[in-house]
Structure 1
Amino acid sequence: MDAAEVLVSVRKYDGSLHWHHSMARLGEDEYGVWLGAPVGTVYSKGVEGPVYATREARVMLFPRDAWWTALFQAAPARLDVYCDVTTPPRWLHPGEVTMIDLDLDVCRLRDGGSVFVDDEDEFTEHQVRYSYPSDVIARATSSADLLKAALTANAEPFAGRRQFWLAEISSR
Structure 2
Amino acid sequence: MSHEIVNVVYRKYDGSLHWHHRSLLLGEDEHGVWTGCVAGTSGRKGAGPMVTWSDAFVMLFPRDAWWTATFNAAPNKTEIYCDVSTVPEWRDGEVTMVDLDLDVIRMRDGRIFLDDEDEFEEHRIRYAYPCDVIDNARAAAARLMKAVTAGATPFATAPHWLSHVT
TM-score normalised per structure 2: 0.96
**Contact 2:9-2:97 within 8 A present in 1 as well:** yes
**Contact 1:6-1:22 within 8 A present in 2 as well:** yes
| Residue identity matched to 1:69 | T
RMSD over aligned Cα, in angstroms?
1.2
Task: Give distance in 1, aligned partners of 2:54 and 2:158.
Answer: 21
| Residue identity matched to 2:64 | D
How many Å apart are 1:45 and its aligned residue? 1.1
Give yes or no for the alignment of 1:14 onto 2:14.
Answer: yes
| Residue identity matched to 1:105 | D
Q: For residue 146 of structure 2, what is the aligned residue in structure 1? A: 149
Task: Give distance in 2, aligned partners of 1:159 and 1:64.
Answer: 20
Q: What's the secondary structure of 1:36's corresponding residue?
A: strand
**Contact 1:13-1:102 within 8 A present in 2 as well:** yes
How many Å apart are 1:160 and its aligned residue? 2.5
Within 5 Å, which residues of 2 pair with 1:85-164? 85-93=84-92, 95-111=93-109, 113-160=110-157, 162=159, 164=160
Q: What's the secondary structure of 2:165's corresponding residue?
A: helix
Task: Give distance in 2, aligned partners of 1:80 and 1:161.
Answer: 8
Q: Which runs of 5+ in 2 are unaligned?
A: none
**Contact 2:3-2:26 within 8 A present in 1 as well:** no
How many Å apart are 1:13 and its aligned residue? 0.1
| Residue identity matched to 2:87 | P
Task: Give distance in 1, aligned partners of 2:34 and 2:114.
Answer: 23
Q: What's the secondary structure of 1:149's corresponding residue?
A: helix
Q: What's the secondary structure of 1:137's corresponding residue?
A: helix
**Contact 2:3-2:24 within 8 A present in 1 as well:** no
How many Å apart are 1:161 and its aligned residue? 5.5
Q: Which runs of 5+ in 1 are unaligned?
A: none
Q: For residue 25 of structure 1, what is the aligned residue in structure 2? A: 25
Task: Give distance in 2, aligned partners of 1:10 and 1:80.
Answer: 20
Q: Number of matched residues?
A: 165
TM-score normalised per structure 1: 0.93
Identity of aligned residues (%): 56
**Contact 1:26-1:169 within 8 A present in 2 as well:** no
